[in-house]
Amino acid sequence: MAKIKKGDQVLVIAGRDKGKTGRVLEVLKDSDRVIVEGVQRVTKHVKAGQTQRGSRTGGIETVEAPIHISNVQYYDAEAKRGKRLGARTETVQRDGRDRTARVRVTRGHGDAEKDI
């Protein structure tokens, strides 16, 4: 199970973009990769074409490429550093019944756990 989710702010901890932060645009579960906004940008050549309105498409574009999920870490904006993630089960009251729910929490660096 991937701990990083779409929309999370992450810190790149390995690779050519080490130290950069960005928001997760997509999680590719089958290949254990994520696409992060502004990170791992590559040049892509797109074949020239035409839309129905007649405008031309194609050329050279710069797009974000997938990066392995082990090379990113959840970024805590308050602490301004990367944090490890964990899960805690809590008992909550829903529809008059007790149910268990998993809650994501930050861990590490001697700080108290914080719900996300």
Res 51: pLDDT: 81
Give 96 or 30, the one with higher predicted confidence: 30
Q: What number of other Cβ atoms are within 10 A of residue 40's Cβ? A: 21
Q: Tens of pLDDT along 12-21? A: 999 999 999 9
For 81, what's the count of Cα atoms within 13 Å in the CB-facing half-sphere? 8
pLDDT confidence of residue 111: 62
Tell me which DSSP letter residue 112 carries. P
> In this model, does residue 113 exceed pLDDT 90?
no
Answer yes or no: is pLDDT of 36 > 60. yes
Write out pLDDT tens, residues 68-105: 999 999 998 888 888 888 888 888 888 888 888 888 88
| 105 beta partners | 86, 115
Nearest to 7 by CA among 21, 22, 20, 23: 23
Note whether 79 and 111 are within 8 A (CB): yes
